[in-house]
Amino acid sequence: MQAQREQDPIQAILQIFEQYPIVMFGEVHGCVQEHALLKKLVTSPEFAARVNDVVIEMGNSLYQEVLDRYIAGENVPMEQLRKTWENQVGAPGGNPTPPYHGLLAAVREANQKLPKERRLRILAGDPPIEWERVENRQDIAPFLLFRDEHFASVVRYQVLARRRKALLLMGSLHFQRRDGKPTVIEQQMLTASVKPYMVIAGSDVVGTYDDVDARFVQHPWPWLMEIKGSWLSSLTRRADAPVIGFPAAGNNPALDGTWDQIADAYLFLGPRDKLTQGGEAFDLNGTAYGNELRRRWNILFPKPPNDLPKSDGKERPMFERMPAPPPALPRKPVP
């Protein structure tokens, strides 16, 4: 990969795989534009020639055999396949639509055109929780707090131990480094003597909602650029913006490291106002899954939500303006 210039993201990632067996892709959950790019990437013949596996966050590994059969082109009933994403630990919100905007179906279709030895495998990275056996918070504790460790174990034993190459898809917060130090997933790969390459995706926001940097849009997007040695390296992350490229939550001016301490490359998906989410209609009211979600919420949350999620199927902004946090109350003088 050539440093310090904007590149076509698909060609750049393909080139990265020539040097690195693992590419960690810190993604924007639900972003329509990002997932369109990912589908184009993983279904390209060049990708299948370089990569063996795609490890996804949004999948309960308890159903790996079901996922394998679906990706291989077998006739898998949707009620079985849905358990892969509906029963994961890390999605208490309850969106019943397939994750990644059709990525699984796209890989399934692309595999039918490839010889068996080159077909991609999709690996579910979330812990194998059996929700029907969860009755209290103690039952979920062995799974909820160890999601990253389990994801890393899938990579270790299903990818690295088999000398395969993989694209890892997980929310950016799970991957990006803290003060230049690797988090759990990257550290476990380094311990296994494998150095991964990390890409973080986002917008042109570099602070609060209105803090956008005009340099992002000087080149047609989407583009990918190596951070070290480029103008991206001098950008700083706000302490109240845990993920780079996302709007900060409030007005905290404290800084938390430069971008080159966080990742190897940045994928600029597009300006803040051009990115969207949604696009699929659903309503969980009156459904068995909706009732099950309420049961899980009562276990997970001290104050469970009142309303089940639903969508009219329309796309909406990925980043909406958040209300400013209330000002801090003045301290009363100590008598």
> pLDDT tens, 82-126?
999 999 997 677 788 999 999 999 999 999 999 999 999 999 999
pLDDT level of residue 251 (50, 70, 90 thresholds): confident
The answer to which of 57-61, 240-244, 278-282 has the lowest mean pLDDT is 240-244
| In a domain? residue 93 | yes
Judged against a pLDDT cut of 90, whether residue 329 lies above it is answered with no
In the predicted structure, residue 335 carries a pLDDT above the cut 60? no
Model pTM?
0.94
Is the pLDDT at 57 greater than 70? The verdict is yes
- Per the structure, the complete domain to which residue 302 belongs is given by 9-317
Q: Is residue 266 part of a domain?
A: yes
Query: Within a domain: residue 308?
Result: yes
Q: Is 326 a member of any domain?
A: no
CA distances from 247 to 144, 176, 220, 319 (A): 26, 16, 22, 8
pLDDT, tens digit, 9 for 90 and up, residues 156-195: 999 999 999 999 999 999 999 998 999 999 999 999 999 9
Q: Are 83 and 60 in contact (CB under 8 A)?
A: yes
pLDDT tier for residue 333 given thresholds of 50, 70 and 90: low
pLDDT tens digit sequence for 4-22: 799 999 999 999 999 999 9
Q: For residue 4, tell me if it sits in a domain.
A: no
Residue 325 falls within a domain, yes or no? no
131-135, 223-227, 248-252, 260-264: least confidently modelled range: 248-252
Whether residue 228 is contained in a domain is answered as yes
Question: Which residues pair with residue 258 across a beta bridge?
Answer: 236
Note whether residue 176 is domain-resident. Answer: yes
CB atoms < 10 A from the CB of 281, how many?
11
* Per-residue pLDDT band at 325 (split at 50, 70, 90): low
Q: What is the pLDDT of residue 331?
A: 61
- Residue 255: the pLDDT is 83
The three-state (H, E, C) secondary structure of 275-327, written as one string: CEEECCEEECCCCHHHHHHHHHHHHHCCCCCCCCCEEECCEEECCCCCCCCCC
Task: CATH number of the domain at 133, please.
Answer: 3.40.50
3-state secondary structure labels for all residues of the chain = CCCCCCECHHHHHHHHCCCCCEEEEEECCCEHHHHHHHHHHHCCHHHHHHCCEEEEEEEEHHHHHHHHHHHCCCCCCHHHHCHHHHCCCCCCCCCCCCHHHHHHHHHHHHHCCCCHHHCCEEEEEECCCCHHHCCCHHHHHHHHCCHHHHHHHHHHHHHHHHCCCEEEEEEHHHHCCECCECCHHHHHHHHCCCCCEEEEEECCECCCCCCECHHHHHCCCCEEEECCCCHHHHCEEECCCCCCECCCCCCCCCEEEEHHHCCCEEEECCCHHHCEEECCEEECCCCHHHHHHHHHHHHHCCCCCCCCCEEECCEEECCCCCCCCCCCCCCCCCC
Number of domains into which the chain is organized: 1
